[in-house]
A = this chain, B = another copy of it.
Amino acid sequence: MKVARQPNLEPMPEDTEAKIFRAAEEEFVARGYKGARMQHIADQAGINKSLLHYYYRSKEKLFRAVFSKTAEKVFPKIPKMWGWDVPLIERMERFVDGYIDILLKNPMLPSFVMHELQQNPGQLVSMFGDLLSFPFQKVKEEILRSMESGEIRKTDPEHLLANVVGLCVFPFVARPMLEKVTGMSKEEFDQFLIDRKQHVKEFIHRALAP
Residues of A whose CB lies within 8 Å of any CB of B are 31-32, 34-35, 111, 114-115, 117-119, 121, 124-125, 128-130, 132-133, 136, 153, 155-156, 158-159, 161-163, 165-167, 169-171, 173-178, 180-184, 192, 195-196, 199-200, 203-204, 206-209
Contact = CB atoms under 8 A, between A and B. Distances in A.
Indicate how many identical chains form the complex. Answer: 2
Contact of A181 (B132, B166, B175, B180): B132
A206 B166 contact: no
A22 B33 CA distance: 27
Given A199-B156, A207-B206, A118 B129 contact: no
A15 to B, nearest CB: 31
Contacts of A196: 159, 162
A121 B170 contact: no
A176 B115 contact: no
A162 to B, nearest CB: 5
Contacts of A209: 206
Contacts of A111: 114-115, 117-118
Contacts of A182: 133, 136, 158, 161
16 contacts: A32-B115, A121-B177, A125-B180, A130-B180, A158-B178, A159-B192, A159-B199, A159-B200, A162-B167, A162-B171, A163-B167, A165-B174, A169-B174, A173-B173, A206-B207, A206-B208
